[in-house]
């Protein structure tokens, strides 16, 4: 079986920033693979193109230029927000305003986005809403560990379910909530998004 549309593909990889010699920014192993439904728009299209046709046990190695990855750093995505945004129960939560923190927020149209605190200047907090890998070429080296047919339920929902089928959902922070699970097999989808087993 090969990686193609509507197949469930599991991969392990090492991601380096910039080039083959760049800094390792992410590493997934067999205990924590990235498992996804191929061809449904969950990953960068060109990333999937580089995996298309590969089977379990096949290795891959490729580089994505920043234009094909997350694009250049956009200066107007770096903004000052008032410290009052960080108020919790009428008090400013200093722990949220630590430089380097990634803070989940919502824009004026209700869309969720993550911002990185990069400076505190007076009553304002400077935040960067660019993707963390914006402005970088990406170098991937890894292996396909499994390819299987998607279940009818996975095809209907458009994402992979954990083998337990626990049916739990992700929280606003992108963390898994296993309160309604029969077991603890719920896990993140590897992209900081919803649970792999949530519907």
Per-residue pLDDT at 121 exceeds 70 = yes
d(CA 169, CA 70): 27
- Residue 53, phi then psi, degrees to nearest 5: 85, -5
- Residue 66, phi then psi, degrees to nearest 5: -55, -30
Q: Is 47 helix (H, G, I), strand (E, B) or coil?
A: helix
Residue 130: predicted pLDDT? 94
pTM of the model: 0.67
Per the structure block, which two tokens stand in for 135? Answer: 């402005």
d(CA 168, CA 152): 18
Domains of the chain: 7-69+135-157 (3.10.50.40), 75-128 (2.40.10.330), 161-199 (no CATH)
Per-residue pLDDT at 8 exceeds 80 = yes
Q: Is 185 helix (H, G, I), strand (E, B) or coil?
A: coil
């Amino acid at each position: 079986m090969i990686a193609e549309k509507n197949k469930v593909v599991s991969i392990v990889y090492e991601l380096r920033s910039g080039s083959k010699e760049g800094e390792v920014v992410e590493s997934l192993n067999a205990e924590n693979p990235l498992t996804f439904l191929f061809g449904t728009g969950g990953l960068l299209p060109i990333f999937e193109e580089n995996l298309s046709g590969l089977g379990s046990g096949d290795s891959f190695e490729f580089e994505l230029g920043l234009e094909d990855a997350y694009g250049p750093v956009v200066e107007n995505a770096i903004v000052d927000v008032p410290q009052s945004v960080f108020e919790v129960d009428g008090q400013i939560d200093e722990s949220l305003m630590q430089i380097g923190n990634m803070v989940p927020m919502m824009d004026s149209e209700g869309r969720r986005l993550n911002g990185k605190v990069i400076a505190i200047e007076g009553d304002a907090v400077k935040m960067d809403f660019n993707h963390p890998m914006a402005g970088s070429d990406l170098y991937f080296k890894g292996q396909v560990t499994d390819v299987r047919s998607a279940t009818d339920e996975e095809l209907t929902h458009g994402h992979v379910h954990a083998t337990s089928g626990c049916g739990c959902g992700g929280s606003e922070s992108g963390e898994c909530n296993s309160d309604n699970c029969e077991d603890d097999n719920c896990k993140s989808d590897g992209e900081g998004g919803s649970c792999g087993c949530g519907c």
